[in-house]
Structure 1
């Protein structure tokens, strides 16, 4: 339900669906989902999930209070690094602004980080609620 300009109508009630997925070339699994009352809250949830995934895959010393400093060491690989991509997206205010503008225009937002074994996706989309009020002349039955 968009206007001719592609924008969501101002009178529409809009909530936002935010979900996180992971998978490989064969499967996809939804790892979490939330319905947020605003696009900013939906993206805030996605940002927290990006950090959660990144820290679970690759503990980040300043945020890993539970791991002794001698436990972690840096590894240099020439492969895509999903935790680094997830942290970079979550830390970049420009990326967050782009996501907000995409949702404000009524479009779906997707971010996908990949490594050599798996992919991790962050998705948000506007959901326009249909009015439950009957239209003039509509037949209403109980």
Structure 2
């Protein structure tokens, strides 16, 4: 049987250079979105330190930490991860086969951080 897979990744750019902080391939859109939300909260709540009270363990690695120089980027990540309307929109987009992307900026140093999730090629299972 062939199943649909989903991929998610967190990237960072300074306008000239681009790097992946980590990514994952999972079996369904809910796991992809859950991973993205976890990374957004980890990065927002302490610049990459573990989120207190996190009992759910995913079989994937967390992204590398980022040090933000202002509060706008962490607050934007936290808002995206905890706003029910944005999460509903994201899961519907993934369900319809569209990619999900959310970018925050740290204007103090010209850094942009992007969370992205998309439908990947079918995986054989």
Name the TM-score, length of structure 1 as normaliser.
0.65
Stretches of structure 1 that go unaligned for 5 or more consecutive residues are 1-10, 64-78, 132-142
Q: Residues 81-134 of structure 1, C-alpha deviation per residue, up to 9 Å, x if partnerless? A: 100000000010111110011111111110001121211100000013277xxx
Partner of 2:114: 121
Shift of 1:13: 2.3
Moved more, 121-130 or 92-101: 121-130
Partner of 2:27: 37
When Rg is computed on C-alpha atoms for both structures, the one with the higher figure is: 1
Give the 3-state SS of the residue equivalent to 1:97 in structure 2.
Answer: helix
Which structure 1 residue ranges, 4+ long, deviate > 4 Å from structure 2?
none
Q: Which has the higher contact order (CA 8 A, sep 6+)?
A: 2
Aligned residues: 104
Q: 2:81 aligns with which of 70, 90, 93?
A: 90
Write the distance in 1 (CA, Å) between the matches of 2:36 and 2:77.
10
Partner of 2:11: 21
- The structure in which a higher percent of residues are strand is 2
**Cα pair distance change 1:36/1:105, threshold 3 Å:** same
Q: How do residues 29-108 of structure 1 correspond to structure 2 at under 5 angstroms?
A: 29-57=19-47, 81-108=72-99
Q: Residues 23-82 of structure 1, C-alpha deviation per residue, up to 9 Å, x if partnerless? A: 2111111001111111001100000100111124398xxx5xxxxxxxxxxxxxxx7710
Equivalent pair of 2:4/2:123 in contact (CA under 8 Å): no
Give the 3-state SS of the residue equivalent to 1:57 in structure 2.
Answer: coil
